[in-house]
Structure 1
Amino acid sequence: MTFRKWMEYQGLSAASVNNYDTAIKGVISDWAQAADLLQGPLNAVESHQRFAEVSKQIRELEVFRQRNSTGNGMYAAALNKFAAYLKSSCKEDVEDDLSEILSEKDCTETDKITSVKTRLGQGIFRQRLIGYWQGCAVTQYPDTTLLVASHIKPWRESSNEERLNVYNGFLLLPTLDKAFDKGLITFEESGKIKVSEQLEMPELFGISSNMKVRLDKQHQDYLAFHRDCVFRKAPY
């Protein structure tokens, strides 16, 4: 979901949506790039942690302080809204998780490497999923070199045992993995796909309402967590 669409779902006025969206893509991005804080526009940042770091630096720029003051705080409000957008959309922030792993003091280098590989859907976890699914869990696409090992219950919310559990994972095509990771699709107890109303034009992602996945009973608790805590429900 785009930043603009997210703000509309939050009930912001059309004027606020336009002001904040334009500020993030336009002048604030220009200020950040001119100060060598970024190599591209702000809306290209996907990590909440990375945005927090850049946002703090942007707020210290003289041009930002001046323009924000004369603009009655509009630019600061735009940064705050974009931070909230990233926080809501990045259920799984890889950069944050990897930073946490690497900063662990009571962890051996071998354990860190294992954790990093697991977080990235590689190593033992990926091998187990390939052995279990043999192809994409949804479409049965067979070339596993193009498939992504995706946790059902998010890595951050899982215990070390759950992170390596073959029943806590799907092997998916990249588009399906991204939508699943972001909570834009999930699966019912029957295995039938459930598409969030927040996913725009799912057909362009190759996602259709007749898709389903074959489930064992060991998948159910993990999927219940995904439906309750990750899946993006319709706004009220």
Structure 2
Amino acid sequence: MNFYDWMIYKGLSESSAKKYDRALGGPLSQWAQDHGLTFGPLNALTSSSALHDLQPKIQELPLFKERNARGHQMYSATLSHFAAYLESNGSDDVQADLESVINDSNIPATEKLALIQARIGQGIFREKVLRHWTCCAVTGYRDTSLLVASHIKPWKKATSEERIDPWNGLLLSPNLDKAFDKGFITFDPNGIIRLSPLFTEAAKLGITHSMKIALQPQHERYMAYHREEEFKSD
């Protein structure tokens, strides 16, 4: 769930969500980059601790103080909402997805259980993904208790069948799973990793351009969707 969608889910109006989303990706990001506080837009941040360190520095900028006062504290409110978004770390996303399944009267009860288990990384989906990959699909790390059964086409955008299709799954270490889920990495048809230009500190997470994955043809329709719709190419 991106920042805009998260704000809508939290009950903000469309106009407020658009205003804060534009402020984050526009003026706030520009001010931070112009003063050497960050090397990319703020909406590329995935760590709440990173924002925690940046936020007071941004708020001390004279331009921030001037524009924030003129804008009736809009920019400080934007940073507060974005901090709450990063703090949620996807938990609100999961909760919203589970609620959508539970409240859907068109889904039979037995199918709901399978979908819920697939969303929280358990059940038949994880079992099938584990059976195919057996270890981290990229690094070969073998302690499966620490690995995540990750959907290639995001769960919330997939059909019920796609949500439990093991070909829509990768077995990844947590750092790779989070980067893939956020669209900061993807894989080309030959399995070679692509790093988003917004992912400026990938190496600090052990993620490099030399990584690759052994994809099967059945993965490609899902991976093609991820490259086109989820990957942050610019």
Which residue type is aligned with residue 195 of structure 2? V
Mapped to 2, the partners of 1:217 and 1:80 lie a distance apart of 43
Pair 75,111 (structure 1): closer, same or farther in 2 beyond 3 Å:
farther
Which residue type is aligned with residue 117 of structure 1? Q
Which residue pairs with 1:187 in the alignment?
187
- Residues 46-93 of structure 1, C-alpha deviations (whole Å, 9 max, x = no match): xxxxxxxxxxxxxxxxxxxxxxxx934442455457768959x97x92
SS of structure 2 residue aligned to 1:214: coil
Q: Cα distance, 1:161 vs. partner? A: 1.0
Q: Which residue, out of 67, 73, 86, partners 1:75?
A: 73
- Select between 125-134 and 200-209 the one with higher mean Cα deviation: 200-209
Count of residues paired in the alignment? 182
Which residue pairs with 2:221 in the alignment?
221
Q: Cα distance, 1:185 vs. partner? A: 0.4
Q: Which residue, out of 2, 5, 27, partners 1:12?
A: 27
Q: Cα distance, 1:113 vs. partner? A: 2.7
Q: Cα distance, 1:99 vs. partner? A: 2.1
Residue 177 in 1 paired to residue 180 in 2?
A: no
Pair 205,101 (structure 1): closer, same or farther in 2 beyond 3 Å:
same
Q: Contact 1:7 / 1:17 at 8 angstroms: preserved in 2?
A: no
Mapped to 2, the partners of 1:215 and 1:9 lie a distance apart of 36
SS of structure 2 residue aligned to 1:12: helix
Pair 72,105 (structure 1): closer, same or farther in 2 beyond 3 Å:
farther
Mapped to 2, the partners of 1:229 and 1:150 lie a distance apart of 16
Q: Contact 1:186 / 1:226 at 8 angstroms: preserved in 2?
A: yes
Q: Cα distance, 1:231 vs. partner? A: 0.5
Mapped to 2, the partners of 1:183 and 1:82 lie a distance apart of 23
- Residues 21-70 of structure 1, C-alpha deviations (whole Å, 9 max, x = no match): xxxxxxxxxxxxxxxxxxx99x78xxxxxxxxxxxxxxxxxxxxxxxxx9
Which residue type is aligned with residue 226 of structure 2? H
Which residue pairs with 2:64 in the alignment?
none
Mapped to 1, the partners of 2:23 and 2:135 lie a distance apart of 38
SS of structure 1 residue aligned to 2:170: strand
Pair 196,7 (structure 1): closer, same or farther in 2 beyond 3 Å:
farther
SS of structure 2 residue aligned to 1:186: strand
Q: Cα distance, 1:115 vs. partner? A: 1.6
- Residues 141-177 of structure 1, C-alpha deviations (whole Å, 9 max, x = no match): 1111110000001111111111111111100000000
Mapped to 2, the partners of 1:17 and 1:204 lie a distance apart of 20
Q: Cα distance, 1:107 vs. partner? A: 3.9
- C-alpha RMSD of matched pairs (Å): 3.6
Which residue pairs with 1:162 in the alignment?
162
Residue 148 in 1 paired to residue 163 in 2?
A: no
Which residue type is aligned with residue 104 of structure 2? E
Pair 7,208 (structure 1): closer, same or farther in 2 beyond 3 Å:
farther
Mapped to 2, the partners of 1:197 and 1:17 lie a distance apart of 15
Mapped to 1, the partners of 2:213 and 2:32 lie a distance apart of 41
Which residue type is aligned with residue 101 of structure 1? V
What percentage of aligned pairs have identical amino acids?
38
SS of structure 2 residue aligned to 1:101: helix
- The correspondence of residues 13-28 of structure 1 with structure 2, limited to 5 A, is 14=30
- Residues 80-123 of structure 1, C-alpha deviations (whole Å, 9 max, x = no match): 57768959x97x92222122122223445443332211112211
Q: Contact 1:186 / 1:231 at 8 angstroms: preserved in 2?
A: yes
Q: Contact 1:8 / 1:17 at 8 angstroms: preserved in 2?
A: no
Could you tell me which runs of 5 or more consecutive residues in structure 1 were left unpaired when the two chains were aligned. 19-39, 45-69
Which residue type is aligned with residue 142 of structure 1? R
Pair 10,143 (structure 1): closer, same or farther in 2 beyond 3 Å:
same
